[in-house]
Amino acid sequence: MARKKNYRRKRKQYPHPAKPNRARTPSPVLLADRMLAFLSHRKGPVSTAAIIQGLELAQYERKNVTELLTGLERSGKIRRKKKQWQIAGRESLLTAKLSLTAKGFGFAVLEGNVAKQQKDIFIPASAMNGASHGDTVQVRVLSGSRGRPEGRIVEVLKRGFTRLCGVYVSGGNTGYVTPDNDKMPFTVLVRYGNSMNAENGVAVLVEIIDYGTKHRVPEGKVLEILGSPDAPAVQIRMAIEQFELPRSFPDRVEQAAAGLAELTDCSDGRKDLRYVRHVTIDGATAKDFDDAIAVQKTKSGFRLFVSIADVSHYVQPGSIIDDEAYRRGTSVYLPDLVLPMLPERLSNDLCSLVPDQDRPAFTAILEFDRQGNRTGAKFTRSLIRSYQRFTYDMVNKIIYLQEKNARTKYKSMLPMLEKAKKLADQLNRQRTKRGALGFVIPEAVVSMDGNHIKTIGRVERNQAHVLIEAFMLAANEAVAETLDQAGEPVLFRVHEKPDPAKVDGFTEAAASMGLALPKTEITPAWFARVLAEAHKSPAEYVVNNLLLRTMQRARYTPENFGHFGLAADYYLHFTSPIRRYPDLVVHRVLQNFLLGGKSSKRQNVLAGKITLDEAGLFLSNRERVAVDIERNVQSRLAALFLRDRITEHFDAVISGVTSFGLFVELLEYFISGAVPVRDMEDDYYNHDSRGHKLVGERTAKTYQMGDLIRVQLDHVDMITKRITFSIVD
């Protein structure tokens, strides 16, 4: 026994110095992937010894490494050159962005020209190699099934996130944070010294200090304690962090904005239009007024002035403010909060067309005949003055509801507003005549009372909204046509024809709801007739949603493909440069056009070496991010709003039908949820995909898209933001 004890002490005292833990030795497949990634980053041939050292392997692995290298050489992935190795070609490795799902598997999303040639690559959970959602990775493509390639992540090139939000759970010397994003199906270890003494159940912002391995969870440290996850403001903050949006401007950007001199005269050669009685018409809570309008009667019809804040005067290409605005791409509007594209000094002051202040603008002066046909267009840099700040509700009362008190109060503006109404009516008739689509897709509005959600409803639209939209569309089309015909490179706002297969699916769905559809044609006019057929029917909301999903996503590009939804040959964004960077680009291009092709005053419209193609892709993506976070916040607040209302009943419309169940939209609130088919226990339901309905096998009971039903709230998941209902008989 004594010898055995001494032997054990000796082994413990003198461990083998070179042999690491064999349990952590990479598998042959994983090691081969790491070798390929290592060699792909080397410009020239590399020795076996250098590979072992670079991959931090033990020397006793040399035989395995040599065998794997020989196998890779036989497969044609690498080649040997004087006892050294180098990658045979990069075609076997692709760079992509990882999009993870809550179930642990994901897809490598390709970009650029490669994305046009190949589908996204399926990545099983076992092939992640330590990668997380949003990471830029190198992928080795393997054989796939069902027409989709499958791959294995070889290396993480760039982490998609360095910090995240979640709920802290204390546990003595260590705690854990459950990420608030369900695409991160893991927990983060937080040691006591890195916890900032966070209490159990609070929301925290965590920095990742170790991304972990397949067998070890990531580790982090708490950067900030956000507060109770039950607070709407905390949920909004977590969404902002999830999408990595800036909450403030860098000091140097604020200082640059503060140093700008206000322009209040026409010393730079702009046209003085202060005599024109412009007005602004916006929402009641708006603070940045970037468009003003005025309408005059002429002998042949109407003259429309659309004056837009001249942001390009203050924001020069390549300036500190311009660089920051480009990175943001767009303003983001959240409940009781705006993340602006420009500093407040510009967005709410220098560039905002506030009443009774002289402001530099870019004005489109458009001539129309009595039927609303455009007969002329001129553009100029101008100096204007807003004579009145109107809200949509007030204009609706004045000229559409004909309320006596409102008309008396704004008697001096009444003649101009009446002319504006007549012109807008004609413009809308012309647009309807050519087949433009009149989508009626409501937007959510969250009513807050301090840190409490009062309700979540739909934005109320009235005829004043339609009036302003008509004038903005007219200005956008006129600028687009002028610049395109002049051959000036610019960013168009294009909306291409929908996929015929999606159109067929939409036709089936609409017919299943009892709509008598005309013969299918992929033209705006056909879709407009479908919308007219559904107007004011119970299925109107669902039809509009389905039709929107059928359409391709609008985007920015220097190629003019027209705008299908508007039935317009020329279209771009000109009217909102305070909140959209593409509009600022258009203003710069329009100014160059006015200066003429040979003028020495023409300037670059983008900073540095950024091309219009690159800007179009980048700014389209920034727009998608803004839409995604707005939807994310809506889902968060909807979950908070309903969380304490379990078992309550609501009226709803079926907005979608799948084999997994029903999707429903509540009628009283602008909130959606699901009815899982597994919970429909009164019968066994079969999915009729062509009829967009579930049919009971025994009772023949049918649930079809567009049906009105009564539902009970069963469950609210704050992590996934999923809301689950059951049907009430």
> Which pLDDT tens digit goes with each residue over 89-100?
554 678 888 888
CA distance 664 to 677: 13
Cα within 13 Å of Cα(538), Cβ side: 15
> Which pLDDT tens digit goes with each residue over 504-534?
887 877 777 777 776 667 788 887 777 777 7
Residues 6+ apart with CB under 8 A from 67: none
Lowest mean pLDDT among 116-130, 212-226, 453-467: 116-130
What pLDDT is attached to residue 228?
94
Q: Give the 3-state secondary structure of residue 439.
A: coil
Q: Which helix (H) or strand (E) holds 624?
A: helix 612-642
What domains does the chain contain, in order, with CATH numbers?
25-88 (1.10.10.10), 91-158 (2.40.50.140), 163-229 (2.40.50.700), 251-490+572-625 (no CATH), 643-727 (2.40.50.140)
Q: Count of CB atoms within 10 A of residue 449's CB?
A: 8
Whether the Cβ atoms of residue 239 and residue 633 lie closer than 8 Å to each other: yes
Whether the Cβ atoms of residue 556 and residue 616 lie closer than 8 Å to each other: yes
With 0-12 CB in 10 A as exposed, 13-18 as middle and 19+ as buried, what is 690?
exposed
How would residue 2 be classed by pLDDT, with cut points 50, 70 and 90? very low
Closest CA to 574 of 511, 482, 505: 482
What pLDDT is attached to residue 117?
54
Tokens linked to 352: 């905002």
Beta strand residue intervals within 132-273, DSSP E? 136-145, 148-158, 163-171, 174-179, 188-191, 203-210, 219-227, 271-272
Residues 6+ apart with CB under 8 A from 151: 94, 108, 121, 122, 123, 127, 139, 140, 141, 142
CA distance 287 to 344: 10
How would residue 118 be classed by pLDDT, with cut points 50, 70 and 90? low
The pLDDT of residue 11 is above 70: no
Closest CA to 227 of 141, 280, 165: 165
What pLDDT is attached to residue 189?
94
Buried b (16+ CB within 10 A) or exposed e, 42-52: eeebbeeeebb
What are the helix (H) ranges across 362-462?
392-395, 404-409, 414-434
What are the helix (H) ranges across 400-518?
404-409, 414-434, 463-485, 500-512
The pLDDT of residue 128 is above 90: no
The pLDDT of residue 592 is above 50: yes
The pLDDT of residue 243 is above 90: yes
What pLDDT is attached to residue 499?
84
How would residue 13 be classed by pLDDT, with cut points 50, 70 and 90? very low
> Which pLDDT tens digit goes with each residue over 314-361?
999 999 999 999 999 999 999 989 999 999 999 999 999 999 999 999
Beta strand residue intervals within 540-604, DSSP E? 555-557
CA distance 428 to 684: 49
The pLDDT of residue 48 is above 50: yes
Whether the Cβ atoms of residue 354 and residue 289 lie closer than 8 Å to each other: yes
Give percent above pLDDT 70 in the chain. Answer: 92
Q: What's the whole-number average pLDDT of the chain? A: 88
CA distance 367 to 274: 19
Higher pLDDT, residue 640 or 119: 640
Q: Rounded to 5 degrees, what angle do the CA atoms 184, 190, 191 make? A: 160
In order, the DSSP letters of 233-286 are HHHHHHHHHHTT--SS--HHHHHHHHTPPPP-S-TTS-EE-TTS-EEEEE-TT-
Q: Which residues pair with 727 in a beta bridge?
A: 711
> Which pLDDT tens digit goes with each residue over 272-310?
999 999 999 999 988 889 999 999 999 999 999 999 999
How would residue 71 be classed by pLDDT, with cut points 50, 70 and 90? confident
> Which pLDDT tens digit goes with each residue over 608-656?
889 999 999 999 999 999 999 999 999 999 999 999 999 999 999 998 8
Residues 408-412, mean pLDDT to the nearest whole number: 96
The pLDDT of residue 439 is above 70: no
CA distance 92 to 503: 37
Positive or negative: CA dihedral 381, 386, 392, 396: negative
Q: Give the 3-state secondary structure of residue 509.
A: helix
Its pTM stands at 0.83
CA distance 376 to 482: 11
The pLDDT of residue 728 is above 70: yes
What pLDDT is attached to residue 151?
83
Give percent above pLDDT 90 in the chain. Answer: 58
Helices 232-242 + 612-642 axis angle, to 10: 150
Identity of the residue numbered 181? N
Q: Give the 3-state secondary structure of residue 395.
A: helix
What pLDDT is attached to residue 409?
96
Q: Which helix (H) or strand (E) holds 528?
A: helix 524-534
